[in-house]
Structures are given as C-alpha cells and as structure tokens.
Amino acid sequence: MGQSFGPVTSFIVLVSAVLLLSASVHSSQGDKEPVYRDCVNQCVRTNCTGARLRGFQSTQPPYMALTGWTCRDDCKYQCMWTTVGLYQAEGYRVPQFHGKWPFARFLCFEEPASALASLLNGLACLLMLLRYRSAVPRQSPMYHTINAFSLVSLNAWFWSTVFHTRDTYLTEKMDYFCASAVILYSIYMCCVRTLGLRRPGVSSMVGALLILAFTSHVSYLTFISFDYGYNMAANATIGMVNLLWWLCWCWQNRRTLPYWWKCSLVVVLLHGLALLELLDFPPLFWVLDAHAVWHLSTVPVHFLFYSFLIDDSLHLLNTEKTGVKLE
C-alpha cells in the first residue's frame, strides 16, 4: 500500500497494505542464495571499512546520503544484480530479494515507477481537493469532513511515495499505519454521510470507536509484536466494511440520486483494476511491475469519485436550504 476519498483511497491502500504485507516476509529466494550472501559479506569486508568506506562516503551523491543509502545497502544492490545475472545465465526465473522484485535504482528511488505512481495519485488528490473547494461552499454539510479526510489521504500517499523511494523500518511502518488510518477515516466519512447528518451522536460515537481501534492497532504493532498476518487481516476486515457500506448506500439511493452510479462505478473499477496485481511479473525494463501498473491505472478513478463528491455535496447543500429531509 500506495497507496482521493472514500472507496478510492481506502481500497487502494487496502490492497497495497495486503500485498506489501504479504511481500514483507524478511527473506526471499534471491537473498537466501549463498552466492548472494557471500557476495554481500565480501563486499562489506572489502569496501565498507577504513579508507574505502571514507572514499565511498566522500563520492556518494548528496541525495543518496540524505535518503539513507549506506555502503552496506550499496553492496546489497550490486550483489542483487550479480545474482540476477547468474540466474538468467542459467535460464532460471528472476528471483525476488527481501520480498521484492529487483528494480533498477534511479537516483535515490528504489522503485521509481511505483514512487512516481504514488506521487501522481497524491497530486490527483490535491488537484481534485482544490477543485472541490472551489466548487462547494463551506456551508455544505459534508465539506469539513471531506476536507479533513483529504489531509489523511494526502498523508498516506506521501508516505507511500517515500516508502517506494526508500524502504526502511520507519518508512515501512508509516506506510502501513497511514494506510490503516485512511481506511478507518473513510469508514467514519461514510458513517457521517449515511447516518451522522441526521444523527450526529451516532457518528461521534463511531468516530471515538475508530480512534480507539486505530490507537490500539498501532500500539500493538509497535510495542508488542509487528504481526504481519494480523495487520493484513485487520486491514482486509475494515476495508470490506467500508466498501460494503458505500455500496449499500448507493443501492438504497439509486432512485433518488441521479449521480449514485459514479460511486458504484468507482467501487467496481477499483475491484477490477486490483486484478492487475495478480499478474505479479518481474519488472519490465527493471522498472515497471504489476504494482506500479495498478497504481498508475487508479489515478483517473480519483477524478470520477471527486465528481461524485462535488455532486453529492451540492445536493446536500440545496436539500438543507429547502428543508427537505436528508438522504
């Protein structure tokens, strides 16, 4: 997870979290190979001590140092390609290393295509947020809820971009935790839209429960055990609650809201596009893998969902002004 509002971001980050978690087992075929491990150990002994280490540090580009690339990391990167070359020479399938396919590093970007795709999703969120703010008056009942969610969403795409740029202990955890935050806030936003406008106390209670759930979730993973299986199951569960809730609302309002189909179509598209992840092929040109293709394909979906948000927010504003009962 990659990493928009409602179903869009929540479903993207849900699948990202699930796939990243499943890929986060700390060893893969490539890094288990003796040739890889011997190569790394030899490289570290030769190049990462004394004068050679000082030489590496003095010639390392500033952007590499700022993103935390160390001499040992560089050894792992070089030895990864040595191992890949041996596999290909013997006619074997390209292996994964530390739960990931081998990617050609561009500047300081470990996964350049996925990092770019996450950035584009974030920019799409920002662009449509600005359009939403220009089209919808602040008096609209959902205005502040949607704006708050946008900040949570943008934060998640920021950390998705950072994680795909440089995979570290911190960036991995921030990517996972922010993904969970987006899904939980999307549930809250759905609750406000479906129940909270008529019963504010209900949405307040649900919001408090969601904050408690998020705090407990992060605390358990941080201080007790970072259980990948539990985290994956938790994100899958809350993600399905969010998606089913939105779909039920769309179905119930299909005769009264002419724009209901936009929300439904977004959900269907996201389910269909997620199937791209099942392809899971070695990166084309060592840059473009199935995860990056999927993230790139979701960028246009944000525009459709924001179109729904604008229509719905304006409808709610007009309904409030005329005194008609909110849907």
Contacts 24+ apart (CB under 8 A), 112-115: 112/287, 113/283, 113/287, 113/288, 113/289, 113/292, 113/296, 114/2, 114/164, 114/289, 114/291, 114/292, 114/295, 115/161, 115/164, 115/165
- Residue 114 has, within 13 A of its CA and on its CB side, a CA count of 30
327 vs 52: which has the higher pLDDT = 52
Confidence band, pLDDT 50/70/90 cuts, at residue 26 = low
Give 42-59 pLDDT, tens digit per residue: 999 998 988 888 888 888
pLDDT exceeds 90 at position 130: yes
> Residues 172, 173, 178, 181: what is their CA dihedral angle, to the nearest 10 degrees?
140
Give 207-219 pLDDT, tens digit per residue: 999 999 999 999 9
Mean pLDDT, rounded, of the chain: 85
pTM for the model stands at: 0.84
Give 246-280 pLDDT, tens digit per residue: 899 999 999 999 999 999 898 888 777 777 777 77
158 vs 33: which has the higher pLDDT = 158
> How far apart (Å, rounded) are the C-alpha atoms in residues 232 and 143?
31
Query: Which pLDDT value is given to residue 100?
Result: 85
Q: What percent of the chain has pLDDT over 90?
A: 43
Most confident of 193-202, 220-229, 235-244, 248-257: 248-257
Residue among 301, 291, 28, 303 at smallest CA distance from 160: 291
Query: Which pLDDT value is given to residue 134?
Result: 94
Element (H, E) at 101: none
30 vs 112: which has the higher pLDDT = 112
CB 291 within 8 A of CB 114: yes
Query: Which pLDDT value is given to residue 25?
Result: 46
Query: Which pLDDT value is given to residue 272?
Result: 75
Query: Which pLDDT value is given to residue 18?
Result: 46
> How far apart (Å, rounded) are the C-alpha atoms in residues 162 and 283?
20
